[in-house]
Amino acid sequence: QSALTQPRSVSGSPGQSVTISCTGTSRDVGGYKYVSWYQQLPGKAPKLMIFDVTERPSGVPDRFSGSKSGNTASLTISGLQAEDEADYHCCSYAGNYIWVFGGGTKLTVL
């Protein structure tokens, strides 16, 4: 049950696009279409932003999009806004009723 690998931090200016990667193995990210992404504002609980690799829950802006290639999933935020500054966590199903998270990425809006 090894954690997925995310960059510790990324940054971008308002209006730009940023992409956060999430690398696993063929036993988790690469093996299932069950990658999700969570936004965690400072001092708050996580919020679901993307599920099943590419799907957005109702109410999540379409500036947020997800994708996957091989063992790496990605979250892209376009038209960056100050309110997007937060920690982002990826998660994947890993088989046998096990889920694994990444270490989290801190997004700074410059």
* 64 vs 76: CA distance, rounded Å: 6
Given candidates 22, 24, 29, 51, which one binds another protein under the rule CB under 8 A? 51
Report the b/e string of 57-89 with b at 16+ CB within 10 A: eeebeeebbbebeebbbbbebeebeeebbbbbb
If one asks whether residue 21 binds another protein (CB under 8 A), the answer comes out as no
If one asks whether residue 53 binds another protein (CB under 8 A), the answer comes out as no
If one asks whether residue 41 binds another protein (CB under 8 A), the answer comes out as no
In the three-class reduction of DSSP (H, G, I as helix; E, B as strand; rest coil), residue 67 is classed as: strand
Site for another protein in 56-85 (CB under 8 A): 57
Given candidates 39, 65, 89, 107, which one binds another protein under the rule CB under 8 A? 89
> Which of the ranges 15-23, 45-53, 63-71, 72-80 carries the binding residues for another protein, by CB under 8 A?
45-53
If one asks whether residue 3 binds another protein (CB under 8 A), the answer comes out as yes
Given candidates 9, 99, 108, 110, which one binds another protein under the rule CB under 8 A? 99
Residues in the chain: 110
Place of tokens 């931090």: 9
